[in-house]
Amino acid sequence: MAFVGTFLKNTTRVGYNYGVKRKANNIEQSVVLTDLLNKAKKTKFGVDYDFNRLLQDEDICDAFRKNVPIFTYETFYNPYIIEQLEGGTNIAWPSKINNFALSSGTTTGTSKRIPVSDQMLKQFQKTTLEQLVQLHELDLPSSFFQSTVLTVGGSTKLKEINNYFEGDLSGILQKNKRFLYRLFSKPGSKISQMTDWNSKLDEIVKNAKKWDVGVVAGAPSWVLILLERIVKTYKVDNIHQIWPNFRIFLHGGVFLETYEHRIKALCSNSVFFKNTYLASEGFFAYQKSPANSSMTLLTSHGVYYEFIDEKYFGLLRADGDLSQFPTYMLNELKENVSYGLVITTSSGLWRYFMGDIIKFTDLEKLELKIVGRVKHTLNIVGEHLSLENMNKAVQRTNEKFNISSEEYCVLPAKKDDRHCWYIGSDHTVDVQKYSVYLNQMLEEINDDYKSVRKYLLKAPRVKMIPVERFYEYMQLKGKLGAQHKFPRVLNKVQALEWESFLIRKI
């Protein structure tokens, strides 16, 4: 089988030299939008917003943003998604939508049903192939290319409703995976279909020693739990005593920082961490080089992008009317400025507000980072703390006190003019000293926070709880494992439910 590894390695080299070195071009976005408008001009949505007229405009991109409103899931659901769920065709996309991905949501959020067209599935496959050929530049040994890919995801068992299937995106992708990919995939169809998360982990652990895993893909929180369980079960010092060819960790969904140290501690060989921006709505970006943590925006993969200025984030959080918000195109952006992401896709989502906040670190190369989510920004009195800010502050504070805390959440207590932090850790620490240092880190990271702390915002209040409480709560909500994640910033309803749960556990 050695020649198989050598063959695959050489294949990635050829693909890399042929295609992936090509620099993305802003002009590609105009081509993408024109193609999407042409395909959908006879749909109900295309007729409602007169795509034929837009296509005749000299500046199609500008005409599009001036004549089509911005939608949230709620405003797009009725009348467009609901009609597709009822079996309607040619509604927002010319072909029938056969699959709907249930968005991961947060622990208390209701899952959304996101349309996944056959064309979008082809774009997912195209991007996966690009990621494969990117491995060439890592100069991995031939033995790696004989190993398998382990996806730590949700259940691949889809539920058939009327004339469509719904379930986790990973299940939809597995159902439509090409045969060649299945040969190199684990944990296999039987385990992948399991719906109980703990039972699925048990089966993966049971079979781990039989597999030669080279790539692990999944959310850092759940991959960490799996790797720790494997190491503990087989009584080994590190994961490479079980999987010697493990070299690539494809992660996404949550920020890596609070999990990275413990994952690396489970490894004896070097592992390349590569971030992906993969959501139920589409595959938007991925990290090309482990040496550069930024991801590259995918501009020719069936998605058209627009961006909302951060000065509007306060209005976006208020659930107001987004329809007429001004947007920027790629060639109108500035580096290191936060923007809200609006997408138009080959699944028939039109000017759809994602809720994600991104920041371009290099506009020429279209390299970006996810900063957080609009509704997960802390802003009681003008402190404007992003998820990126909060993660950095928690990480630095943990390093100061030599502890780990994979999970945490914050409650913005407006009545008290302060932030209440719940830090999940199994280590003992002086909470008062932790709080003081956390505040210091937040002031260093964010000037707005430092300013309002002088007059308007009280010192943060910190409570340390066992990290297991977070997972127990997620299990209670039926959101344990896979793509699900605990929300970092809780709204009023979430805060009441969370604190009521903690009171019951005391």
Q: What is the pLDDT of residues 208-244, one digit of tens each?
A: 999 999 999 988 888 999 999 999 999 999 999 999 9
Q: Render 196-212 in DSSP notation, one character per residue.
A: -HHHHHHHHHHHGGG--
User: For residue 431, how many other CB atoms are within 10 A of its CB?
Assistant: 14
pLDDT score for 184: 72
More confident residue, 296 or 21: 296
Of 448, 445, 383, nearest in space to 419 by CA: 383
CA angle at 18 for the pair 12 and 24, rounded to the nearest 5° = 110
Give the global pTM.
Answer: 0.84
pLDDT bucket at 54, cuts 50 / 70 / 90: very high
Q: Which of 31-45, 138-152, 308-322, 441-455 has the highest mean pLDDT?
A: 31-45
Residue 280 CB partners (closer than 8 Å, separation 6+) = 101, 102, 103, 104, 112, 114, 116, 169
CA angle at 346 for the pair 131 and 18, rounded to the nearest 5° = 30
> What is d(CA 112, CA 254) in angstroms, rounded to the nearest whole number?
19
pLDDT bucket at 183, cuts 50 / 70 / 90: low
pLDDT score for 154: 80
Residue-wise pLDDT for 120-156, tens only, equals 999 988 888 888 777 777 878 888 888 999 998 888 8
The one-letter amino acid code at 221 reads S
Of 392, 400, 386, nearest in space to 436 by CA: 400
DSSP at 489: B
More confident residue, 172 or 19: 172
pLDDT score for 182: 60
Residue-wise pLDDT for 378-421, tens only, equals 888 888 898 889 999 999 999 999 998 989 999 988 777 899 99
Of 229, 161, 150, nearest in space to 191 by CA: 150
Residue-wise pLDDT for 359-379, tens only, equals 999 999 999 999 888 888 888
pLDDT score for 12: 44
pLDDT higher than threshold 70 for residue 60: yes
pLDDT score for 250: 92
pLDDT bucket at 422, cuts 50 / 70 / 90: very high
Residue-wise pLDDT for 266-313, tens only, equals 999 999 999 999 989 999 999 998 889 999 999 999 999 999 998 888
pLDDT score for 480: 79
pLDDT bucket at 65, cuts 50 / 70 / 90: very high
Report the share of the chain in percent with pLDDT over 90: 59
Structural domains of the chain in order of their starting residue, each with its CATH number:
1-375 (3.40.50.12780), 377-505 (3.30.300)
pLDDT bucket at 103, cuts 50 / 70 / 90: confident
Question: Distance from CA of residue 302 to its chain's centroid?
Answer: 18
pLDDT higher than threshold 50 for residue 21: no
Interhelix angle 257-265/387-401, nearest 10 degrees: 40
| Mean pLDDT over each residue of the chain, to the nearest integer | 87
pLDDT higher than threshold 70 for residue 16: no
Quick one: tokens of 83? Answer: 């009609």
Burial 17-56 (b: 16+ CB within 10 A, else e): eeebeeebeeebbbebbbebbebbbebbbbeebebeebbe
Residue 253 CB partners (closer than 8 Å, separation 6+) = 104, 219, 220, 483, 485
Interhelix angle 60-67/27-40, nearest 10 degrees: 60
pLDDT higher than threshold 90 for residue 460: yes
> What is d(CA 200, CA 154) in angstroms, rounded to the nearest whole number?
9
pLDDT score for 482: 65
Quick one: tokens of 242? Answer: 């079980």
pLDDT score for 110: 64
Q: Compute CA distances 26 → 44, 60, 362, 363, whole Å.
A: 29, 14, 13, 10
pLDDT bucket at 17, cuts 50 / 70 / 90: very low
pLDDT bucket at 505, cuts 50 / 70 / 90: confident
Query: At 150, which helix (H) or strand (E)?
Result: strand 148-152
Q: Would you say 67 and 54 are in contact if contact means Cβ atoms under 8 Å apart?
A: yes
Tell me what the mean pLDDT of segment 93-111 comes to.
75
Q: Is 260 exposed, middle or buried (0-12, 13-18, 19+ CB in 10 A)?
A: middle
pLDDT higher than threshold 90 for residue 347: yes
pLDDT bucket at 178, cuts 50 / 70 / 90: low
Q: Is 98 exposed, middle or buried (0-12, 13-18, 19+ CB in 10 A)?
A: middle
> What is d(CA 279, CA 284) in angstroms, rounded to the nearest whole number?
8
Of 290, 20, 245, 270, nearest in space to 129 by CA: 20
The residues facing 115 across adjacent strands are 100
pLDDT higher than threshold 60 for residue 74: yes
Residue-wise pLDDT for 324-334, tens only, equals 789 999 999 99
Report the share of the chain in percent with pLDDT over 70: 91
Of 283, 288, 257, 259, nearest in space to 272 by CA: 288
